[in-house]
Amino acid sequence: MDMIALAWRRIDTWFETFAPADAKAFLPGAVPSEIEAAETRLGLTLPEDVKASYRIHNGASSEGLLMGRERFCTLEQMVGWWEMMRDVSRQDPAWAQRPPIWVRESINPSQPVQPTSWHLAWLPFTSNIARDHWCFDLAPLSGGHIGQILEWDHDMGPFHVLFTSFEELLSTYADQLEAGLYVQHGPPLNQLRELTHLKERHVAFQQSTPAKPLLQQAISLAWNFRFEDDASITSYDMIFEGDPSAYGKAFDACTTIYQKVLQMHEATLDDRFFAYYGLISLYMQQKGMLDNPDLSLFEEWEAEASNMPPAHWVHEEVAFWKEWLIE
């Protein structure tokens, strides 16, 4: 089994286990003629790992299913975004050729990326309402890789190379899911991609312990009570028989599970850290923790984490949360 197929098998298995409704939102793969048609419109050849991935899943119909990005584009959507950006760059070539912010202000280390605001060899495969994208970069500079994943911002232009390839992105995403990092579809930490202790967290989360069934139940519940839009919830509206407070009840049920883990005498320290992470993630996403933060829960987590050896994976996550909540 090639690496793309293996990564998607792991991702699909996770969604089928924890978020079966969302598993169905990953679209069937594109047929060869669709890939060829996209390449013809682009005038570019897609990297082999990109074509291999799109033969498995041609994007997704729901939001938040690829590393928390709002939209994982179909080939048609990707080409559509590219054509729009092509037209904008033709109408305003001075804008397209303008150096990005990391060049103008030296705010990031030099990137192996064309130093322009837009380039026709960048293919947007994720999008959000602000028209920010992750792009396949088919024209990297020396030191880069054809097909590397570029983060592009509508204000700042390109400012990060996130992954060297789509294969690396998908494999990392599979690792992140299996490490329990995704509590609902949008991870609270933009820096998830920068975690250096992912392997250690993955090992700890995969270990069989008395608290693991509860932790897994909480993740599944969190994904299944999330909103599809502002007016409805996915599955727990049926469970709560149309009760308008169903969402709040499901949220409370989920946080109660994490609290049970913290109350378990047999819970390992790693499992306690997973529970703190889950609780803070939910409170931040659902209750606007940044607007009116209750830091007591974070302070409890930080205090327990301070007793761990300096190399333990938890310190990195506590530091990230501290930056979000306090600093």
- Give the integer Cα–Cα distance in Å for 251 and 233: 12
pLDDT of residue 234: 40
Give the whole-angstrom CA distance, residue 112 versus residue 147.
12
Q: Which helix (H) or strand (E) holds 157?
A: strand 157-163
Give the pLDDT of residue 108.
Answer: 66
pLDDT of residue 229: 38
Q: Do 4 and 174 touch, CB atoms closer than 8 A? A: no
Q: Judging by beta carbons within 10 Å of its beta carbon (0-12, 13-18, 19+), is residue 272 exposed, middle or buried? A: buried
CATH number of 3-168: 3.40.1580
Residue 245: the pLDDT is 65
Contact criterion met (CB below 8 Å) for 26 and 13: no
Mean pLDDT by 10 residues, the chain (327 residues): 92 96 96 98 97 98 88 97 96 93 74 93 92 95 95 88 95 95 72 84 97 96 65 38 64 93 97 95 68 77 96 93 76
- Whole-number pLDDT of residue 233: 37
152 beta partners = 133, 158
Tell me the helices (H) and strands (E) count for the chain, helix number first.
Answer: 15, 9
Domain layout of the chain by residue ranges: 3-168, 180-325
